[in-house]
Amino acid sequence: MFGWSRPFQPSLLPSSLFALLREGEIVIQSGPDWKSSVRASTLGGELFLHSAFPTVSADAVFFGPDTYRFASAIKRYLATRPRDVGRALDLGCGSGAGGVMLAKNSNCEELVFADINDKALQMTRLNAQAAGIVKMRTICSDLFTHVDGMFDIIVANPPYLNDPMKRSYRHGGGELGSGLSLEIARAAKARLGPGGTLLLYTGSPIIGGCDQLLEAIKEDFASSGLNWSYEELDPDVFGEELETEAYRRVDRIAAVLLTAQNEE
């Protein structure tokens, strides 16, 4: 019921537990059966709650293949750095997977989770607590709007698709969904402390062989003074989107990682 969002009968659970789940609207009636409104996934030895499939509501908390690639990129980066990372931020945290991976693979002096979605922040708190993370706080914020100060590391996995329903976990803004990613990259430049790093995992539309996000990053970062790199992690994700009107000119959507460091 929690792992695969399958319908179930109340007799599957002890009556007292079922009553609690029903009272908290964690389980909802689906025809003659019941379904869970949340789903549980494992990552890096930790358990994460997120929205059950299908994720159709505007405040759904997504967890999927992108989450695993994002977590892998964080772990790979931290494996080559000292364990003490100082002040860390998971921007647009969703389930909190990025920040939890930061905390489990380094020593964070302070860990901040920020998201515009209250349900995401609630799940982040539960997931961080389950992972044994104590030194953390959550902030309801539209990107950096209510986030103060400088950071030693910022990780972000923003939505990067053009979603007609404009669901917050999926719609990235701009013509082809890269709006939020570019906005984060631009704004993060002013929030990186000396030696601070941005890890931005996202997707980019490729048109006529040209990576649209990369071209925008090149132009914006040309005089930034940051040491940065850009890596394609998966050449073809969300291929079904190419059949929609919004992506009629797009060859493919690539999963990419921007790594930018303030060397001042």
Condensed to tens digits (0 to 9), the pLDDT of residues 104-117 reads 999 999 999 999 99
Query: What are residue 115's DSSP bridge partners?
Result: 140
Q: Are residues 15 and 120 in the same domain?
A: no
Domain count, the chain: 2
Q: State pLDDT tens for residues 215-227.
A: 999 999 988 889 9
| Residue matched to tokens 């000396």 | 194
Least confident piece of the model among 24-28, 123-127, 144-148: 24-28
Q: Are residues 69 and 188 in the same domain?
A: yes
Interhelix angle 97-104/118-130, nearest 10 degrees? 30
Asked if residue 79 is part of any domain, the answer here is yes
Mean pLDDT of all residues in 8-12? 93
Helix (H, G, I), strand (E, B) or coil at 69: helix
Question: What does the pLDDT read at residue 136?
Answer: 95
Asked if residue 200 is part of any domain, the answer here is yes
Q: Are residues 81 and 37 in the same domain?
A: no
Strands 107-115 and 136-140: parallel
Question: What does the pLDDT read at residue 71?
Answer: 98
pTM score of the predicted model: 0.94
Name the pLDDT band for 240 (thresholds 50, 70, 90): very high
Asked if residue 3 is part of any domain, the answer here is no
Q: Are residues 128 and 24 in the same domain?
A: no
Q: How far is CA 226 from the centre of its chain?
A: 23
Q: Is the dihedral of CA 180, 181, 186, 188 positive or negative?
A: positive
- The closest alpha carbon to 53, from 21, 5, 117, belongs to 5
Q: Are residues 127 and 93 in the same domain?
A: yes
Number of other residues whose CB lies within 10 A of the CB of residue 117: 19
CATH number of the domain bearing residue 133: 3.40.50.150
Asked if residue 232 is part of any domain, the answer here is yes
Q: Are residues 76 and 169 in the same domain?
A: yes
165 or 76: which leads in pLDDT? 76
> How much is the mean pLDDT over the chain?
94
Q: Are residues 45 and 158 in the same domain?
A: no
Contact by Cβ (8 Å): 185, 258: yes
Q: Is the dihedral of CA 215, 219, 220, 223 positive or negative?
A: positive
Alpha helices in 59-204 (DSSP H): 65-78, 97-104, 118-130, 179-188
Domain that holds residue 23: 10-51
